[in-house]
């Protein structure tokens, strides 16, 4: 997740509970709203698979009119890992 954030110049905030069953990734937009972009649902995916899933979702979000700050990052989202 940090790899995606670094590539897109986004901040990372890690919040954990005592028992972690799944990994959830949210994008916090300009208004502070958290939008879910990834959950592993207990899957045992490799780092590259997780990276691609998050990057793909961020790319899709960049087309939504409420997420204008992501529009300028589309080119970075399309670059190979």
> What range defines the domain where residue 70 resides?
2-78
| Confidence at residue 60, expressed as pLDDT on a 0 to 100 scale | 87
pLDDT in tens, 26-69: 888 888 888 888 888 777 777 788 888 888 888 888 888 888 77
Query: Would you list the DSSP string of 10-79?
Result: --------SS--S-EEEEE-TTS-EEEEEE-TT----HHHHHHHHHHHHHHHTTSTT-HHHHTTHHHHHS
Q: Which two tokens mark 52?
A: 């691609």
Confidence of residue 18 (pLDDT cuts 50, 70, 90): low
| Confidence at residue 64, expressed as pLDDT on a 0 to 100 scale | 86
pTM (whole model) above 0.75: no
| Confidence at residue 17, expressed as pLDDT on a 0 to 100 scale | 58
Look-up: residue for tokens 């590539």? 7
Count structural domains, the chain.
1
């Amino acid at each position: 997740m940090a790899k995606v954030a670094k590539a897109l110049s986004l901040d990372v905030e890690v919040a954990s509970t005592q028992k972690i069953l799944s990994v959830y990734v949210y994008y916090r937009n300009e208004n502070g709203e958290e939008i879910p972009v990834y959950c592993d649902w207990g899957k045992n995916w490799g780092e590259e698979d997780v990276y691609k899933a998050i990057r793909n979702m961020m790319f899709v979000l960049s087309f939504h009119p409420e997420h204008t700050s992501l529009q300028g990052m589309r080119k970075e989202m399309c670059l190979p890992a």
